Amino acid sequence: MGSRMANNLIKAGYNVLVHDVNLDAMQKYSDNGIATKKSPFEVAEECDVVITMLPSSTHVMDVYTGPKGFLSDGKFLRPQLFIDSSTIDPQTSRTVSTAISSCKLKEDRGGSGTPAMLDAPVSGGVLSAETGSLTFMVGGSEQAYMSSKPLLLSMGKNIIYCGGSGNGAAAKICNNLALAVSMLGVSEALALGQALGISAHTLTKIFNSSSARCWSSDTYNPVPGVMDEVPASRNYEGGFAAKLMAKDLGLAAVSSKEFGVSSPLTFLAERIFTELCNEGHGTKDFSCVFRHYFSGKDEL
């Protein structure tokens, strides 16, 4: 996701510096004349705006507050704005935001003199990241949100302000919960339909012209061969890994318990995707739940 987002910033004419723990990824940028840095701290030393896309809350805390993190030089920062597009728990977003807002800018460039952070997770998957059509769910100050829009519109087409710090992260958790449940529902219905003698192509046409229509049926169908250019038609490679969906459902489950919300489908979906990962399918796209949980066959 992050590499596709960075590529769109480069296409839009922004001067981009890159850091990643994956040295091969760094080399690809270096080979194309894009500057790379050895640590998050080195990135923050030279950038006015920093954008992060990381797998988990632990990674976010390390990149921002760890020994070589953005904040490792004390209370003075060069970047005016940090944008974290990771899918993490809202409390971690708020903790990091508070740490950033307690710092001062090394150079006052006519603003408040205080750096700001936005939690801005995305929806749309790798395909939308490549085409610059992501949806951003943004939490933080409205002033920082307004200043970030030109950057975000270089990577996405829908930029939605969700309110204060952590609200973007909260929106993403809820979005991925709904996505997981809809994918399970579509997969179960398609598997049942085929067992009853209806082809996946035919049933998908019915779904997409009736009340069952959803993103999991009309854009990201989980049955191999029904749609081109989706993970299901390339052995579930690429896309959004099942282990990341399991992680996001875990965040939703924790939040549900914390706030006392009745969420039976959250816990069922978390169990199913965790089981999928335990069986060795965690690196496959999450739509592989159709094959490995419902159908048990490579093609139907």
**Predicted pLDDT at 298:** 42
pLDDT digits (tens, 9 = 90+) for 117-160: 999 999 988 888 999 999 999 999 999 999 999 999 999 999 99
CB 77 within 8 A of CB 70: yes
**Predicted pLDDT at 239:** 87
**Predicted pLDDT at 300:** 31
pLDDT digits (tens, 9 = 90+) for 194-231: 999 999 999 999 999 999 999 999 999 999 999 998 99
**Predicted pLDDT at 125:** 81
Residues of the chain with CATH 3.40.50.720: 1-165
Residues with Cβ within 8 Å of 268's Cβ and at least 6 positions away in sequence, in order, are none
φ/ψ bin of 143: left (φ > 0), alpha (ψ from -120 to 50), beta (otherwise): alpha
Residue 182: both structure tokens together: 């809809």
pLDDT digits (tens, 9 = 90+) for 238-264: 889 999 999 999 999 999 999 999 999
pLDDT digits (tens, 9 = 90+) for 29-41: 999 999 999 999 9
Residue 172 annotated as catalytic: yes
Architecture of domain 1-165: 3-Layer(aba) Sandwich (3.40)
CB 127 within 8 A of CB 3: no
Residue type, 118: L
Residue type, 107: E
**Predicted pLDDT at 177:** 97
pLDDT bracket for residue 64 (50, 70, 90): very high
Percent of the chain that is helix, strand, coil (3-state, to 5): 50, 15, 35
Residues of the chain with CATH 1.10.1040.10: 170-293
Predicted structure pTM score: 0.89
CATH fold of the domain at 170-293: N-(1-d-carboxylethyl)-l-norvaline Dehydrogenase; domain 2 (1.10.1040)
DSSP class of residue 85 equals: -
pLDDT bracket for residue 111 (50, 70, 90): low
DSSP E strands, the chain: 17-18, 35-36, 49-52, 76-77, 81-84, 104-105, 116-119, 122-123, 134-139, 156-163
pLDDT digits (tens, 9 = 90+) for 131-143: 999 999 999 999 9
| Residue among 11, 28, 38, 172 flagged as catalytic | 172
**Mean pLDDT in the chain?**
94
Average pLDDT of the residues in 185-189: 97
